[in-house]
Structures are given as structure tokens and as C-alpha cells.
């Protein structure tokens, strides 16, 4: 009862204090709100990334099986997420411990047609067990019978909406085909499922049944559920014996099986041919580090502000002591004040986040929705954690100061003569706190610099990316691909179209196809070697302005029947062969493949190394050649001043040449943004966090300088009366803050060197940070700090000395 | 009530020790009204602070109500403050964020007095000091004399046995000063021991006894 009464009196006191002097409380609150919102948003993201694929019923014993192939003899290395070993389907029957298995076959460039509606879709063929293993929730249809017979499909809710609208899709017939399908096949819809949640590594739009469950798959992703208490190693231990029934000993020795826990795929799997662009642990760690920096800045700033406020209110606390407040009284006062701050800040941050979520989504390219089950709760938990973290920080200053200055000197003429307030920026505690904030701020600036540089490096090296707008038509249908030359010719008839080229893979996609080759004059042991192949159009290199370093370009487009075949190698391939560019040109060369010519062709040129895939990977040895029926992707350079017209023209031409096939295109720039999504997000995030923490830190020194200058007014006056110039006063006033910020830079540089090394070691093509960058970042930081205090300094230094002295 | 024996107070700076109080012996009996006088820097306030347990002596012994108190912990000091002592300051030192009523009420809350009783006590004090009409005003809205009245009301609200006043009239003009001194004398007559520090010879004589301090020593 008495405690309540005291608490109430104190609460009233606190609120009146704020009302009478709102600046510092407002500044500390603002800093907290900013920090809190950032914490909530970033933790939302972190938690979502960490919870990928954790929602499946048996997630802890569901694994993806991959088989890595390393053949040192041929130089063949494949670490694919999918496998072409159809015999893996016998695993549950032949290896103990495997409870069930699902094969997911991803259709290459799948297309769905229903009456007139036609579009590209993410189509998978899967065993019926997929419904249980992936917890596919059927809104319509019977989970027991769905996918049990041939030519059945279940479709996602959004696919159903797209094709059927209000019509009940059950029993309707879909036509599906893909780039490797000979014909369009009819499938009957037997179920509609809820869209897969955002944070899974696979999002099928259509799942088709397996035509014959006993037939091995061609390319498939294999998922296993292990028996309870079975370790992955128990299963892997049987793999050799199992594999030896299907492949010979020599091949078996090249195979290494891996079991990846399904929840680890998103963050820890970096294999080729992943189903979607995965996240990365590295990215999360960098993000977590940045978040930590922001939190540091926020908390230290908050501590500083509270420290100043408490010092200012010191008299009040002394009076409380005189009138008989006990220890618990101070504790409850500190607690109450802190609750008010943390509560208000967390509350405002919570509301802000709820309202700003759409903006955040647009900015970061994420898709958080408030109606996602558990999301609000999660935000609430984060809010609670933020509240709990800030609570002791808010209490600390009062408790620290109270124990130091208990009952001292209230009765003397200058009650605060010996308190830290008087020393303002000279106080060691404040200096240290501000210093730490600026160390963090410097790290953040460097993070922005590095992330920007890294992205620029990527974009600079992207095929046609970054420089100009190119259009990529992604799915030239195999059924009509022979008509590509016609399509190209038609396009080029218009002045809207500047140039057209094509390749097997879309710009930025992985090229992982390898073939054996023969080259007379090469040492015998290279006879088994494999090389990466990339069929391209004749004008591919001129289209992308890639220089030929030796020999010449393809003479002209030869189609499928170019005889003899012409080959161009990249520099990496020349190295791989152990020759020089000049030696290679003119040599006879042949690829060992069913589709390629049996006759020897000729290497006509060597092209400068460039990265056709993602810059997160090394440049591989490629041989480029022409084969129309592998040119699945077409890229168009058009008149960017007349984009709409150009697009319309390309679309019309498409439907003229390929009637009945979807016109599926994207801008190359956008495709690269997708490929470098992680880096892009990190760049935006680091920029956002950096700006916000700079604002918080600036708020802090703004307030501290304010109070410091007020205390030093008299000193300024005396110095002026004694002849000090404005400039020397400005130097004298900013000396302390300058020392702190410079000190912070000195501490932060080695720290950022270490951190950036660690960060960039994750990239094969890493941005190199120059000393100039450090220098400029330091300069920027110092300038920002000086600008922050500039106005106050000017005011303090130019004040009339008479006023200054009278002011005291 | 108060026994100071060989009290020293000094500050150590780099190379020398500055003495504020030297070998002070002083006894104050319950019910006395003592005025401490002396020139600036003589150590009057320091002496009062030591008596009020705001400042520990550097050396010497201090018995308060026959108990040694020179080496008390903060918590025990608080008990003395709450139960035996009231303070009056030259600068009034009211809590700016509280109105008159709340300022007087504060020590009673800390003392754990029940709401109804507290209300009666504050009302009585407001009435006695004739400041009922001012109870909702904040210190900044009062004159110096009025503020000091509130200060005294607050100091005696908890019915202290010892009232310590540090130049209570220092900031007041003579008429106001006289009123305050009369009030202190009245309180003393009602049984409260009063120790005041003052510069004013006239006001010093309101007390039963004058202790003069020169250069930190009691001059006899």
C-alpha cells in the first residue's frame, strides 16, 4: 500500500519533470524508438530466415539426399542439389532406417495451359508421399487418393485462382509441358492446396503425379524421412553397399552422398541447381553484427541521455534522500522511470513496425504479412525483449550516480560543483560511451562501403547487367526452337530492336553441363577430361562486348548443321588445357556427345574470361559453340527511349512466330537483382542501419554538447573578455568531441579490417577495400560529428561575453 | 542529545591537507536552541552537515542520542533522517516538480504514515503556517519567505526531535526573516531541539546559546 503510494507520487514526479523539460527525455525516447523499430524489423527477418522449413511435422528427421561426384581423372565435379541417379528410389527398400522417400522432379521451364490461359509455372512431379512429408494442406480433394494415379495434379490456391477464378477446378483438365517434353500432356486436377509458406525452400505451383511409381526419375530432388533415433550417418554408412548394386566400382568411388537436414537447406546449402536462391549463414551473421552495432549505439546513447538527465535531476534525488527516501525508494524511482521510457519506446516501436511493415517489405523485397500466424506474437516477443534489454540500461545511471554521490554537498553554495554534469563532454564515462557509439557507427559506414563495392563489382561483371536495359525471353519452347532464326530475323526488321542474341542459360544462371572432348595433340591422359559447354548465338560476344583475345569470333550463325563446327574457348579453358591462347587457335576440336558432330571441328578463337553466371562463383573453363536446339534463352537489346512500343513489338512478333506459347520475359537487370538478392538486401539493410545509427549517435552528441556548452558559458565569456577569437573558441569547444570521434576511428579501423576480411572471405570475387575508403569513411564520420555540433558551437562561441557572464 | 568529541574535517589535496574543522568539541542538550556563527569559511555549514549526518567527520567521535553515529551506513543514516531530523536550507530546496501540499507530504509518505492520518497532518501544518490557500501552487510560484515556510513545514512534518537550519533567513529580507525566526523559537518552545547556522547577529540571539567558529575551531 505504502509502496503504491510512493510509486504513484514518483510517477507523478517523473511525468511533471518530463513536461517541464522535455528535450532530453524526447531525445532519449526518439533514439530508443528508432533503435527499437530497427531491432523489431531485423529480428523479424532473422527469425524468419532461421525458421525456414522448420514447420514440417518431422522436420528434425527429414533430410535431402544429394550425391556429390568428384572424378579426378576427368575433372568432373558436380555437387548438385538434385541427382540423376534414378536408382536412389530403391533406398527405402534396401537401406535400413529410411522410413519414407519423396522424389521431386522439377520441370525445366514448365508451362501450363487451360483453355486459352497459358503461363509459365513451377511444376513438379512428386511421389504421393509428398502430401504427408511436406504437410501439403489440401483445401479440396482427398489427400489419400490424390496423386495416386497417373496424370493427376494438385495445384496451389494461387494457381487455381489464376486459371479457374470462381470455377471449381476439381476434375478440370490442364495441359502441361516443359522444355524437355516432346508434347503437351493432359492432367486432371484432383486437389487444391494452400500455398506453401514463404519460408520454405520450394514453392510448387503445380504438383503432378508420377506416371509410373516403379520407374526411375531422370533428374530429381530426393527427400528422406529417417526412422526415429536414426542418425544420418547410420544411413550413409550403408550407401556404398547400396550403390554398388547399381554402378560399377570405379564410378561408385567417385560418389559422396550427403544428407542435409531440411531445415538447413536454406541457410547452409550452396549446391548447384538449388530449387530457389537460398539465403546464407554468412549474410545472417553480418546482419546480426550490424544489428548488434545498432543496439550498441542505441543502448549507449540511451545510457548517456539518462546519465545526463539524472545528473540534471541530482538535486531532486538528494532531496528525496533528505526527506527520508530509502534505498528501495531510489530503486523504485529508477525502475519506474525506466519502465516509462522503455515502455513508451517499445510501444511506439511496435506500432511503427506494424504500420511500416509494408514499406519495409517494399524496400527489402520481403513479404511479411501481419496475418501470418504467429507473426504478431513474434513481434510482441521481440518488443518484450527490447523492453527487457533497455530496462536495466535506463535504471543504471541513477543507481550508479546515487551510490557515488549519496547525500553530498546539497547544502553547499554550488550543489553540483563536483558532479560530472559540470564536466560535460570531459567526463570519462560520457566520452567512453560516445566513443563506443562512434566505433559502431564507423563499422556501419564501412559495411555500407563494402556492400556497395561488392554489389558494384558484381554488376560491373554481370552479362549486360547494370549498364543498359536488356530484355531476356526466358523460355524458348523446345517444340518450336528451330524457328529461333526466324524470330530473330523478324525482330531485327524493326528499328526498335538493336540486336538479338541467345544462349542456353539465362544471363546469370549457372552453367553446369559438361562434355568429354577430343583434341589431337593433347596428352593421352586428357582424353577422359570433361569441359563445361555453353551453346551460344554467333553474335553473343559482340552483343555483350566481350573481347576476343586470340583468333576470331564465330564467322556467322551456322545453326545445327554448321560444318565443320566452330568452337571458342575462354581463357580459363585454355589454362585448363595447359596451352596458350595462340597455340589453341586453329586446333581441331570435337565434343563427345550424341547431339554434336562426329567430325572434328576447329577452335576459331579465345575469348576474354567473363562470368556468365553469378559472381559468387569462380569462372570455369568453358567452350562456346553453336547449337540452335539448346538456345533456350534469348536476349534482346531494344530502343530504351521507346520501351513500351518495343515490348509490344517483341510480344507481337513472339505470338506471330510461336503462337500458343507463353511470352515469358524479364529485364536482365531484374534477373541479376534476383540473383544478387541477398547482397542487395544486405546493402539496403546496412545503409538503413547505418543512417539510423548515425542519427541516434548524432542525437546523442547534440544533446551532450548542448549541456556541455551551457555549463561552459561562463568560461567562454571569461575567455572572450580576455581576448579569445571566435575561431580559437570553436577549436577549443570542439576539441573534446573531435578527440573522441578520432579516437573512435583509430579503434574502429583495425576492427573493421578484421571484420571485412572475414566477411569478404566468403566471396570468390571480393571487393578490395582501399586505404582511401577508410580515410574517407573516417573523414565522413568526423564531418558528420562536427556538423552535428556546428550550430551550437557557433552560437556558444559568438555569444556576447557580457550575456555569457550575466547568464551565470 | 548531541556530543561531538575531537571532530576534525579536512580535505587532502596533492601536497597539503586543508582543515575545515579542527578539534571541535560540542555538546547540545535536548530542547536547546543553538546558533552557530562565524565568518565565511569558518566551517559552520560543514559542522552542521556533520551534525546532520550529511558529511562524515574525518576524525573524531559523534554521539547522537548517546549512540555513536560517525560511521553509519547509508541505510542507517536514512533511518535517522526519517525519524529524528528535519532540515531547513538557505536555498529552501523544495522539490520543484511538486506542489506545496505534496512537498510537505513527501516525508510522511516515506515514513509510512497512512493516507488519512497524513492528510490530517499536512492540513494541520498548512493551517498553522497559514498557507492553506497556497497548497496547490508550485515552489516557483511562491515568494522566498513562503518557500521557506513550506521548507520548514516539510522539515517538521515528520515531528523531528532535531531541526537543523542552514542560514534559513539568508535569502530573505528582514521582516520575513523575523517571522521565520519567531517560528523556529516557537517550535523550540514546543520541544524541538534547533541548531541553526547564521550570519545575522540579531537572529543568532533567538537561540539560547551561540557557538562561534573561527578558522574551524570553536572560540570560547
User: What phi, psi does A117 have (nearest 5°)?
Assistant: -75, 130
Nearest to A410 among B93, B110, B115 (CB): B93
Contact (CB<8Å) A319/B95: yes
Contacts of A134 (CB under 8 A, 6+ apart): A56, A102, A196, A200, A202
How many domains is chain A partitioned into structurally?
A: 3
Nearest to A412 among B45, B82, B111 (CB): B45
Same domain, yes or no, for A445 and A481? no
Ranges of chain A with pLDDT below 50 = 407, 409-424, 807-808
Same domain, yes or no, for A625 and A717? no
Mean of the pLDDT values across residues B117-130? 90
Nearest to A329 among B93, B98, B110 (CB): B110
Q: Which residues of A touch B154 (CB under 8 A)?
A: 323
Same domain, yes or no, for A301 and A446? yes
> How many CB atoms sit inside 10 A of residue A722's CB?
8
Contact (CB<8Å) A316/B75: no
Contacts of A362 (CB under 8 A, 6+ apart): none
User: What phi, psi does A38 have (nearest 5°)?
Assistant: -60, -45
A 395-414 → B contacts, CB under 8 A: 406-408, 410-412
Please say which residue of A607, A635, A661 terminates a domain.
A661
A 174-203 → B contacts, CB under 8 A: none
Q: Which residues of B touch A319 (CB under 8 A)?
A: 93-95
Residue A185 falls inside a structural domain: yes
Contact (CB<8Å) B158/A324: yes
Task: Please tell me which residue of chain A has the smallest CA distance to B48.
Answer: A411
Nearest to B106 among A315, A323, A412 (CB): A323
Contact (CB<8Å) A324/B75: no
Task: Please tell me which residue of chain A has the smallest CA distance to B138.
Answer: A16
Measured CA to CA, the distance from residue A613 to residue A430 in angstroms comes to: 51
Determine the distance in angstroms separating the CA of B81 from the nearest CA of chain A, rounded to an integer. Answer: 6
| pLDDT (0 to 100) of residue A578 | 86
- From the list B122, B148, B156, the residue with the least C-alpha distance to B136 is B122
Size of interface A-B (CB pairs under 8 A): 72
Residue A666 falls inside a structural domain: no
Contact (CB<8Å) A321/B158: no
Determine the distance in angstroms separating the CA of B51 from the nearest CA of chain A, rounded to an integer. Answer: 13
Residue A467 falls inside a structural domain: no
Determine the distance in angstroms separating the CA of B130 from the nearest CA of chain A, rounded to an integer. Answer: 22
Q: Where are the alpha helices (DSSP H) in A228-326?
A: 232-236, 239-243, 249-252, 265-268, 281-312, 314-322
Determine the distance in angstroms separating the CA of B150 from the nearest CA of chain A, rounded to an integer. Answer: 13
Residue A270 falls inside a structural domain: no
Omega prior to A564 cis, within 30 of 0: yes
A359 in B contact zone (CB under 8 Å): no
| pLDDT (0 to 100) of residue A806 | 56
Nearest to A2 among B48, B81, B112 (CB): B112
DSSP class of residue A457 equals: H
Measured CA to CA, the distance from residue A168 to residue A153 in angstroms comes to: 14
Q: 3-class DSSP state for residue A211?
A: coil
Determine the distance in angstroms separating the CA of A706 from the nearest CA of chain B, rounded to an integer. Answer: 22
Task: Please tell me which residue of chain B has the smallest CA distance to A326.
Answer: B78
Residue A607 falls inside a structural domain: yes
Number of H helices, E strands in chain B: 7, 10
Q: b or e along A472-494 (b: 16 or more beta carbons within 10 Å of the residue's beta carbon)? A: bbbbbbbbebebbeebbebbeeb
Q: Where are the alpha helices (DSSP H) in chain B?
A: 44-51, 74-83, 100-111, 115-128, 144-157, 174-189, 201-204
Interface test with A, best of B85, B86, B93 (most A CBs within 10 A): B93
| pLDDT (0 to 100) of residue A421 | 43
Q: Which residues of A touch B139 (CB under 8 A)?
A: none
A 321-350 → B contacts, CB under 8 A: 321-327, 329
Same domain, yes or no, for A555 and A612? yes
Please say which residue of A609, A635, A661 terminates a domain.
A661
Same domain, yes or no, for A107 and A240? yes
| pLDDT (0 to 100) of residue A411 | 40
Same domain, yes or no, for A100 and A208? yes
Residue A113 falls inside a structural domain: yes
Same domain, yes or no, for A445 and A487? no
| pLDDT (0 to 100) of residue A561 | 57
Determine the distance in angstroms separating the CA of A14 from the nearest CA of chain B, rounded to an integer. Answer: 8
* Domain around A424: 2-49+291-457+677-807
State chain B's mean pLDDT as an integer.
87
B96 in A contact zone (CB under 8 Å): yes
Q: b or e along A146-167 (b: 16 or more beta carbons within 10 Å of the residue's beta carbon)? A: bbeeeebbbbbeebbebbbeee
Measured CA to CA, the distance from residue A536 to residue A565 in angstroms comes to: 13
Task: Please tell me which residue of chain A has the smallest CA distance to B81.
Answer: A324
Determine the distance in angstroms separating the CA of B71 from the nearest CA of chain A, rounded to an integer. Answer: 15
Residue A264 falls inside a structural domain: no
B9 in A contact zone (CB under 8 Å): no
Same domain, yes or no, for A24 and A101? no
Contact (CB<8Å) A321/B81: yes
Confidence band of B145 (pLDDT split at 50, 70, 90) = confident
Determine the distance in angstroms separating the CA of A304 from the nearest CA of chain B, rounded to an integer. Answer: 23
Please say which residue of A616, A632, A661 terminates a domain.
A661
Nearest to A319 among B78, B93, B115 (CB): B93
Same domain, yes or no, for A482 and A598? yes
Same domain, yes or no, for A359 and A437? yes
| pLDDT (0 to 100) of residue A422 | 47
Contact (CB<8Å) A324/B78: yes
- From the list B94, B147, B140, the residue with the least C-alpha distance to A20 is B140
Same domain, yes or no, for A90 and A153? yes
Q: Which residues of B touch A406 (CB under 8 A)?
A: 74
In whole angstroms, how far apart are CA B210 and each of A175, A282, A332, A697? 113, 79, 42, 57
A 11-30 → B contacts, CB under 8 A: 12-13, 16-17, 20
Centroid of chain to Cα A94:
40
Q: Which residues of B touch A17 (CB under 8 A)?
A: 97
B93 in A contact zone (CB under 8 Å): yes
Residue A271 falls inside a structural domain: no
C-alpha cell, A520 = 589431337
Nearest to B110 among A20, A325, A410 (CB): A325
Interface test with A, best of B78, B98, B198 (most A CBs within 10 A): B78
Q: Which residues of A touch B158 (CB under 8 A)?
A: 324
Contact (CB<8Å) A327/B78: yes
Q: Which residues of A touch B49 (CB under 8 A)?
A: 411
pLDDT in tens, B55-114: 888 889 999 888 888 777 777 777 888 888 888 888 888 888 889 999 999 888 888 888
Same domain, yes or no, for A505 and A571? yes
Task: Please tell me which residue of chain A has the smallest CA distance to B54.
Answer: A407
Task: Please tell me which residue of chain A has the smallest CA distance to B154.
Answer: A323
| pLDDT (0 to 100) of residue A405 | 55
Nearest to B54 among A5, A13, A407 (CB): A407
B11 in A contact zone (CB under 8 Å): no
Contact (CB<8Å) A2/B87: no
The answer, yes or no, to whether residue B141 has pLDDT greater than 60, is: yes
Contact (CB<8Å) A411/B109: no
C-alpha cell, A330 = 531510489
Contact (CB<8Å) B96/A321: no
Amino acid at each position: 500500500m505504502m509502496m503504491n503510494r510512493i510509486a504513484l507520487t514518483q510517477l507523478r514526479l517523473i511525468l511533471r519533470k518530463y513536461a517541464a523539460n522535455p528535450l532530453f527525455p524526447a531525445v532519449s525516447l526518439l533514439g530508443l524508438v528508432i533503435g527499437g523499430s530497427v531491432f523489431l524489423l531485423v529480428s523479424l527477418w532473422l527469425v524468419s530466415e532461421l525458421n525456414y522449413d522448420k514447420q514440417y511435422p518431422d522436420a528434425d528427421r527429414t533430410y535431402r539426399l544429394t550425391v556429390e561426384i568428384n572424378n579426378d581423372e576427368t575433372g568432373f565435379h558436380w555437387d548438385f542439389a538434385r541427382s540423376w541417379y534414378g536408382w536412389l528410389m530403391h533406398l527405402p527398400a534396401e537401406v535400413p532406417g529410411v522410413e519414407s522417400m519423396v522424389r521431386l522432379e522439377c520441370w525445366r521451364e514448365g508451362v501450363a495451359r487451360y483453355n486459352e490461359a497459358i503461363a509459365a509455372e513451377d511444376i513438379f512431379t512428386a511421389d504421393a508421399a509428398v502430401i504427408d512429408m511436406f504437410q501439403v494442406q489440401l483445401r479440396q480433394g482427398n489427400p489419400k487418393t490424390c496423386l495416386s494415379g497417373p496424370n493427376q495434379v494438385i495445384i496451389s490456391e494461387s494457381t487455381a485462382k489464376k486459371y479457374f477464378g470462381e470455377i471449381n477446378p476439381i476434375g478440370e483438365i490442364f495441359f502441361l509441358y516443359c522444355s524437355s517434353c516432346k508434347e503437351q500432356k493432359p492432367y486432371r486436377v484432383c486437389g487444391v492446396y494452400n500455398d506453401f509458406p514463404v519460408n520454405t525452400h520450394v514453392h510448387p505451383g503445380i504438383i503432378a503425379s508420377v506416371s509410373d511409381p516403379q520407374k526411375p526419375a531422370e533428374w530429381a530432388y530426393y527427400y528422406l524421412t529417417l526412422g526415429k533415433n536414426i542418425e544420418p550417418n547410420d544411413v550413409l554408412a550403408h550407401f556404398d553397399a547400396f550403390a554398388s548394386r547399381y554402378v560399377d566400382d570405379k564410378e561408385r568411388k567417385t560418389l559422396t552422398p550427403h544428407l542435409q537436414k531440411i531445415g538447413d537447406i536454406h541457410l547452409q546449402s550452396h549446391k548447384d541447381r538449388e530449387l530457389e536462391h537460398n539465403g546464407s549463414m554468412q549474410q545472417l551473421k553480418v546482419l546480426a553484427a550490424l544489428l548488434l552495432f545498432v543496439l550498441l549505439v542505441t543502448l549507449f546513447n540511451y545510457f548517456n541521455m539518462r546519465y545526463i538527465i539524472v545528473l540534471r535531476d541530482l538535486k531532486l534525488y538528494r532531496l528525496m534522500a533528505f526527506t527520508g527516501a530509502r534505498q528501495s525508494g531510489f530503486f523504485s524511482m529508477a525502475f519506474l522511470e525506466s519502465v516509462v521510457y522503455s515502455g513508451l519506446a517499445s510501444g511506439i516501436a511496435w506500432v511503427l513496425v506494424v504500420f511500416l511493415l509494408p514499406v519495409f517489405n517494399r524496400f527489402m523485397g520481403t513479404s511479411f504479412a501481419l496475418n501470418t500466424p504467429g507473426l504478431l506474437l513474434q513481434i510482441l516477443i521481440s518488443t518484450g525483449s527490447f523492453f527487457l534489454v533497455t530496462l536495466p540500461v535506463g535504471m543504471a545511471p541513477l543507481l550508479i550516480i546515487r551510490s557515488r554521490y549519496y547525500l553530498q554537498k546539497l547544502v553547499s553554495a554550488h550543489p553540483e560543483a563536483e558532479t560530472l554534469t559540470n564536466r560535460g563532454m570531459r567526463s570519462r564515462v560520457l566520452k567512453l560511451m560516445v566513443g563506443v557509439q562512434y566505433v559502431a557507427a564507423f563499422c556501419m559506414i564501412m559495411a555500407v562501403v563494402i556492400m556497395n563495392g561488392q554489389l558494384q563489382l558484381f554488376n560491373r561483371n554481370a552479362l549486360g547487367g547494370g549498364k543498359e536495359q536488356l530484355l531476356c525471353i526466358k523460355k524458348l519452347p523446345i517444340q518450336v526452337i528451330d524457328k529461333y532464326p526466324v524470330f530473330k530475323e523478324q525482330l531485327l526488321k524493326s528499328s526498335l530492336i538493336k540486336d538479338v542474341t541467345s544462349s542456353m542459360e539465362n544471363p546469370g544462371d549457372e552453367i553446369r553441363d559438361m562434355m568429354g572432348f577430343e583434341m589431337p595433340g593433347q596428352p593421352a591422359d586428357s582424353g577422359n577430361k570433361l569441359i563445361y559447354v555453353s551453346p551460344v548465338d554467333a553474335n553473343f560476344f559482340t552483343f555483350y562486348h566481350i573481347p576476343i583475345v586470340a583468333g576470331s569470333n564465330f564467322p556467322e550463325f551456322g545453326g545445327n548443321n554448321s560444318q565443320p563446327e566452330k568452337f571458342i574457348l575462354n581463357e580459363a579453358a585454355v589454362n585448363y588445357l595447359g596451352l596458350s591462347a595462340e597455340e589453341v587457335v586453329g586446333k581441331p576440336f570435337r565434343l563427345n556427345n550424341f547431339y554434336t558432330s562426329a567430325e572434328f571441328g576447329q577452335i576459331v578463337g579465345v575469348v576474354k574470361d567473363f562470368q556468365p553466371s553469378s559472381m559468387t562463383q569462380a569462372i570455369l573453363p568453358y567452350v562456346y559453340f553453336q547449337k540452335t536446339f539448346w538456345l533456350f534463352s534469348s536476349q534482346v537489346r531494344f530502343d530504351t527511349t521507346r520501351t513500351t512500343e518495343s515490348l509490344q513489338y517483341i510480344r507481337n512478333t513472339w505470338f506471330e512466330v510461336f503462337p500458343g506459347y507463353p511470352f515469358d520475359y524479364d529485364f536482365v537487370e531484374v534477373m541479376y537483382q534476383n540473383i544478387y538478392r541477398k547482397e542487395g538486401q544486405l546493402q539496403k539493410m546496412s545503409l538503413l542501419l547505418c543512417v539510423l545509427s548515425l542519427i541516434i549517435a548524432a542525437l546523442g552528441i547534440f544533446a551532450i554538447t548542448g549541456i556541455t556548452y551551457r555549463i561552459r558559458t561562463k568560461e567562454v565569456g571569461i575567455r572572450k573578455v580576455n581576448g579569445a577569437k571566435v575561431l580559437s573558441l570553436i577549436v577549443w569547444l570542439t576539441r573534446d568531441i573531435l578527440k573522441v570521434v578520432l579516437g573512435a576511428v583509430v579503434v574502429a579501423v583495425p576492427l573493421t579490417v578484421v571484420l571485412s576480411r572475414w566477411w569478404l572471405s566468403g566471396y570468390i570475387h571480393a571487393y578490395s577495400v582501399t586505404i582511401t575508403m577508410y580515410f574517407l569513411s573516417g573523414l565522413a564520420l568526423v564531418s558528420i560529428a562536427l556538423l552535428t555540433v556546428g550550430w551550437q558551437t557557433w552560437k556558444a562561441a559568438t555569444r556576447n561575453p557580457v550575456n555569457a557572464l550575466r547568464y551565470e | 542529545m548531541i556530543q561531538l568529541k575531537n571532530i576534525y574535517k579536512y580535505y587532502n589535496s596533492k601536497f597539503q591537507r586543508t582543515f575545515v574543522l579542527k578539534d571541535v568539541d560540542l555538546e547540545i542538550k535536548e530542547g536547546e536552541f543553538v546558533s552557530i556563527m562565524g565568518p565565511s569559511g569558518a566551517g559552520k555549514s560543514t559542522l552542521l552537515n556533520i551534525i546532520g549526518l550529511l558529511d562524515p567527520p574525518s576524525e573524531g567521535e559523534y554521539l547522537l542520542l548517546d549512540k555513536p553515529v560517525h560511521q553509519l551506513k547509508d541505510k542507517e543514516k536514512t533511518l535517522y533522517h526519517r525519524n529524528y531530523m528535519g532540515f531547513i536550507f538557505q536555498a529552501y530546496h523544495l522539490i520543484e516538480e511538486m506542489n506545496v501540499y505534496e512537498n510537505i507530504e513527501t516525508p510522511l509518505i516515506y515514513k509510512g504514515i497512512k493516507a488519512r492520518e497524513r492528510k490530517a497532518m499536512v492540513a494541520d501544518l498548512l493551517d498553522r503556517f497559514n498557507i492553506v490557500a497556497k497548497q496547490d501552487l508550485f515552489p516557483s510560484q511562491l515568494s522566498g519567505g513562503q518557500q521557506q515556510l513550506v521548507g520548514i513545514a516539510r522539515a517538521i512534518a515528520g515531528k523531528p526531535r532535531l531541526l537543523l537550519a542552514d542560514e534559513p533567513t539568508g535569502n530573505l529580507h528582514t521582516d520575513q526573516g523575523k517571522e521565520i525566526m519567531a517560528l523556529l523559537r516557537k517550535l523550540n518552545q514546543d520541544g524541538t531541539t534547533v541548531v541553526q547556522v547564521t550570519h545575522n547577529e540579531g537572529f543568532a540571539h533567538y537561540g539560547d546559546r551561540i557557538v562561534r567558529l573561527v578558522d574551524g575551531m570553536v572560540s570560547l
